[in-house]
Chain A
Amino acid sequence: MSKMFSKDNREAFFNALNFNNPIAAQVLGICSALAVTSQLKPAIVMSFCVTCIVALSNVIISLIRKTIPNRIRIIIQLVVVAALVTIVSILLKAVAYDVSVQLSVYVGLIITNCILMGRLEAFAMMNGPWSSFLDGIGNGLGYAAFLISVGFVRELFGSGCLFGVKIIPDCVYSWGYVDNGMMTMPAMALIILGCLIALHRYLNKNKDI
């Protein structure tokens, strides 16, 4: 047990959550972070899908890492990721059809999400399955933290809702409050993301990112 949560493994998990965060520190996976965060629900579903896929593909690649010829490793990684993405996409259509329609192409585009290839290349190819699994979960959750924060701000100020339920009371609107239309545009997502990254750097300013 103590070996399962050794210092290295704990670092693999918590580093990805905080100062090696895939979005804030590595600046990967920005495209989907802008595209699916106009509401909270798709942001959470997307984070969940990405977390599952990163963790599973990390484990699979890590298990077969010694048999992969170095020259064709990218293609093998892609095949594994593509298979997982297809499975998740089909499952999503079966379980939550409306969200999968909202996410549209972005579920399929998880294949091209840089976080996946980054983690496979940088971590799973060199580490055992258990620490690769922790690394995958950590990166997925780190990605999720930013997606959900951006989604929260955008849905709250863009349409006055959270999870589609009106949060800002009607009396505020009668005083003249108006929802900010720019929040529903990807441009504002980029600005919010920039502010969050700045905040993250400020909190970690003693560490060398």
Chain B
Amino acid sequence: MSNIIKKYFDKIRPNFEEGGKLQSLHSVFEGMETFLLIPNSTASNGVSIHDSIDSKRIMSMVVIALIPALLFGMYNIGYQNYLAAGVEGSFIEMFAYGFLQLLPKIVVSYLVGLGIEFIFAQVKHEEIQEGYLVTGLMMPLILPINCPLWMMAIAIAFSVILVKELFGGTGMNIFNVALAARAFLFFSYPTKMSGDAVWIANNQIFGLGNTLPDTYTQATPLGVVGGGSDITTSLQDMVVGLIPGSVGETSVIAIAIGAVILLWTGIASWKTMLSVFVGGALTAWAFSVLDMTPITWYEHLFLGGFCFGAVFMATDPVTSARTETGKYIYGFLIGFFAILIRVLNPGYPEGMMLAILLMNIFAALIDYFVVDHNISMRAKRTIKK
């Protein structure tokens, strides 16, 4: 199979080289080739030890880790719609409905983001960078299902251009690109990003699903808590994920499968991930001891975007702290700030996005102090002897 692909690429290659008739699509060709095959170019001098994993392979693993959350998200879209309408639906119907709701978002997300990446790569005469593969799939997963497509497209364009390409492209961005796009939407169009009317898909597609009245509202459990009422969600629903929320964030189990994949392949740092949970748990526990939050500490971890943020966003190798000690501090503070914003800010029922973006700014500073501290410790040790 790979031989056939390789032959095909070799055959069409001349078209894309300097002077060929499709030269303007050169970067697209190269991107596709290296995505499907092992790159031809290797180190030509010196001794280099290579792992067979490159950043395209890393990105593919993260995409695989996202798939459980994606599939469960699709099912939950359908489940919530049928539940809201009070109609019985089979598993297949619910899943197909969710699939049809989510598919346009994934397609638009990739078209806009990759389109911009292709243009930038072509203008800068560089290879296409692969970072958008993950961002493009994360985007639909961290938005409410009723967020309009054009809004998502604007946010992705804003984020890819201003947050990523201006800083130098993949690997150079200070902020997590997907979260920056979400923050843009959150502040630009608050009525479509939070509140209680955006979490349940409300229209029929190809005869599947149910049309809900415009006045139908259903808050997320955290929204209910933020509004000052008690939640009625059972612990089982929280863990399985059959609750309203952003598409991919609801199921703790699906995210846990993704976490296992990321940790097993060594892509995500267990130190960051663990310390986010520790920071969040301790803060939530302290608040519940002080009687400032009506839900228990473990409910705080199960609800909202806490798990998704901790597993997929906080561990982003580009924007998180890089020193080993720094990872503990970085993760702990994310958990701390996420719960702090949830409990103390009445305007924002969820704080995970803002906490991660805040710590993205400080990641480099944390690294600086960790390195600096290490240097001064070693200097002292030498002087003592």
Q: Interface residues, chain A, CB within 8 Å of chain B?
A: 176, 178, 180-183, 185, 187, 191
Contacts and interface: CB of A to CB of B under 8 A. Distances in A.
| Among B151, B184, B187, B188: residue with most chain A CB under 10 A | B188
B190 interface: yes
A185 B190 CA distance: 13
Given A182-B188, A191-B162, 15 more contacts: A176-B150, A178-B151, A178-B189, A178-B191, A178-B192, A180-B188, A180-B189, A181-B187, A181-B188, A181-B189, A181-B190, A182-B184, A182-B187, A183-B188, A187-B187
A185 B162 contact: no
| Among A176, A178, A187: residue with most chain B CB under 10 A | A178
Contacts of B184: 182
Interface in B132-147: none
B115 interface: no
Interface residues of B, number: 11
Contacts of A178: 151, 189, 191-192
B56 to A, nearest CB: 31
B148 A176 contact: yes
Interface in B178-195: 184, 187-192
A188 to B, nearest CB: 8
A187 B183 CA distance: 12
Contacts of A180: 188-189
A25 to B, nearest CB: 20
A174 to B, nearest CB: 13
Contacts of B191: 178
13 contacts: A176-B148, A176-B150, A178-B191, A178-B192, A180-B188, A180-B189, A181-B187, A181-B189, A181-B190, A182-B184, A182-B187, A187-B187, A191-B162
Nearest to A191: B162
Interface in B316-332: none
Contacts of A182: 184, 187-188
